[in-house]
């Protein structure tokens, strides 16, 4: 039953897995309530980590904070690995160039999935023998939007859980070889990877082994599925809008002329057009969050929300509202964020990709890495739809677990700015 007109931007659909869908007037309400009222983590627990004990869940939250500091300390290693793998990929692509010196990428999402999986393995584990298991982690749906929950309910739920737990166990057993629980030599003999750093400092910082079953695989999944998908959307946007591509190229040329080819933190701060381009891509490519009511409560319009109800915010509609984003809200226009004052790594009413009220603690880490990766890619490749003459067709979006471009193919040609 649709209650939109009579219930103040609150809807309820008979076919929906969620009990309530909240409109834009309820954004602050939805995002500011504490976890003991509307809980995001409860949904995650029930759908993906139901077999964990309460102690393990509490421990995983603490370990995520520890892991975040470890990642920040390893920023330079991640950047170095990313540059090395991208340049190696570019060299291999030379064999695929057509007569016009371009390569046709049939599916940018698959293309980037492979790249980000490889980066994640070498950043965190150094060795590629566990590639298939990491790929399994990356393909697990860690989203809990409408489509993801519906899909989960259609599956034999215990099978899905056992598969996820099995994958985490494979990762753990790879890090600690054999019954003696000795660290894997392939990891310990390497240089700089995250797993080695944790193992070497585990006793000093009192880090439990559970970090290798919780924070590490969760980060790998987020890195590949979230950042990889968002970068795929951005590169597709660049291919569809030649004017945006030219602005991004001009910005990179200016920075290279000013600072040289190395990408530093200072340069990342000065990539203002790239900042706006990624922010705009996130705006159009962010899906619905879902929360569970921990207790009986009332919405601002008076609607009663019973305990255990699932409540979501209509992010897709909000992000396409002319009241919020001005002219042509369905179009990809990075310049709008100069007018709105939106910054990629700052959560705000015009940038809810990281959440609001209690935003994602990884937002600065992710934002800076996305700018670094995108800058590298723009410097290495000319990104087009094969021709800048005429409009090639957008084809819209697919609203799945992630919001994806329906159009997946583009052309890359090797170059150095």
Number of H helices, E strands in the chain: 19, 14
- Strands 182-183 and 304-305 turn out to be unpaired
* Per-residue pLDDT reduced to its tens digit, 81-130: 999 988 888 777 666 655 557 888 999 999 999 899 888 887 776 655 55
| CA 412 – CA 381 distance, rounded (Å) | 6
Domain positions in the chain: 10-408
Q: Tell me what pLDDT residue 233 has.
A: 97
Structure tokens belonging to residue 234: 């951005």
Structure tokens belonging to residue 52: 């964990």
Q: Tell me what pLDDT residue 179 has.
A: 52
* Per-residue pLDDT reduced to its tens digit, 356-384: 888 888 999 999 999 999 999 999 999 99
Provide the whole-model pTM.
Answer: 0.88
If you write DSSP's letter for every residue of 50-70 in order, what string do you get? TTS-HHHHHHHHHHHHHHHHH
For residue 150, pLDDT beyond 60: no
Percent of the chain with pLDDT over 70: 80
| CA 300 – CA 114 distance, rounded (Å) | 45
Q: Tell me what pLDDT residue 1 has.
A: 41
- The three-class DSSP label of residue 290 is strand
Within 13 Å, how many C-alpha atoms sit on residue 391's CB side?
3
Residue 131 exposed, middle or buried by CB count within 10 Å (0-12, 13-18, 19+): middle
* Per-residue pLDDT reduced to its tens digit, 314-360: 898 999 999 999 999 999 999 999 999 999 999 999 999 998 888 88
Locate the DSSP E strands across 157-316.
176-177, 182-183, 290-293, 297-298, 304-305, 310-313
Place of tokens 């790239």: 274
Q: Tell me what pLDDT residue 138 has.
A: 55
- The three-class DSSP label of residue 187 is helix
* Per-residue pLDDT reduced to its tens digit, 115-125: 998 888 877 76
| CA 370 – CA 280 distance, rounded (Å) | 13
Structure tokens belonging to residue 277: 């381009």
If you write DSSP's letter for every residue of 246-281 in order, what string do you get? HHHHHHHHHHHHHH-S---HHHHHH-HHHHHHHHHH
| CA 347 – CA 390 distance, rounded (Å) | 36
CATH class of 10-408: mainly alpha
Q: Tell me what pLDDT residue 230 has.
A: 96
Residue 142, Cβ neighbours under 10 Å: how many?
18
Q: Tell me what pLDDT residue 191 has.
A: 63
């Amino acid at each position: 039953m649709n209650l939109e007109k009579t219930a103040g931007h609150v809807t309820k659909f008979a076919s929906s897995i969620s009990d309530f869908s909240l409109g834009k007037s309820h954004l602050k309400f939805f995002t500011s309530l504490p976890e003991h009222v509307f809980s995001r983590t409860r949904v995650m627990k029930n759908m993906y980590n139901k077999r964990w004990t309460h102690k393990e869940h509490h421990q995983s939250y603490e370990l995520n904070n520890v892991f975040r500091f470890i990642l920040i300390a390893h920023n330079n290693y991640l950047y170095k690995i990313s540059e090395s793998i991208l340049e190696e990929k570019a060299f291999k692509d030379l064999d695929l160039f057509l007569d016009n010196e371009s390569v046709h990428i049939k599916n940018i999402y698959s293309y980037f999935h492979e790249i980000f999986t490889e980066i994640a393995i070498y950043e965190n584990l150094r060795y590629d023998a566990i590639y298939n298991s990491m790929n399994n982690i990356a393909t697990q749906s860690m989203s809990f939007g409408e489509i993801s929950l519906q899909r989960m309910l259609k599956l034999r739920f215990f099978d899905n859980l056992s598969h996820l737990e099995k994958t985490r166990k494979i990762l753990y057993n790879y890090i600690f070889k054999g019954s003696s629980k000795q660290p894997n030599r392939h990891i310990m003999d390497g240089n700089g990877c995250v797993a080695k750093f944790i193992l070497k400092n585990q006793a000093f910082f009192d880090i439990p082994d559970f970090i290798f079953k919780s924070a590490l695989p969760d980060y790998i999944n987020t890195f590949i599925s979230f950042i990889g998908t968002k970068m795929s959307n951005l590169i597709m946007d660049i291919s569809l809008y030649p004017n945006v591509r030219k602005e991004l190229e001009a910005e990179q040329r200016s920075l290279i002329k000013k600072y040289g080819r190395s990408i530093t933190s200072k340069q990342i701060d000065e990539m203002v057009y790239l900042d706006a381009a990624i922010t705009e891509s996130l705006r159009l490519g962010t899906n619905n969050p879902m929360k569970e009511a921990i207790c009986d409560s009332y919405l601002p319009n008076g609607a009663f929300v019973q305990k255990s109800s699932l409540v979501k915010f209509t992010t897709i509609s909000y992000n396409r509202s002319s009241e919020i984003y001005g002219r042509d809200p369905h179009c990809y226009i990075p310049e709008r964020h100069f007018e709105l004052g939106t910054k990629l790594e700052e959560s705000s009413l015009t940038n809810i990709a990281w959440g609001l009220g209690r935003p994602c603690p990884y937002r600065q880490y992710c934002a800076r890495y996305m700018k670094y990766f995108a800058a590298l890619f723009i410097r290495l490749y000319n990104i087009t739809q094969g021709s800048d003459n005429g409009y090639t067709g957008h084809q819209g979006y697919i609203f799945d677990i992630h919001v994806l471009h329906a159009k997946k193919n583009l052309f890359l040609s090797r170059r150095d700015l």
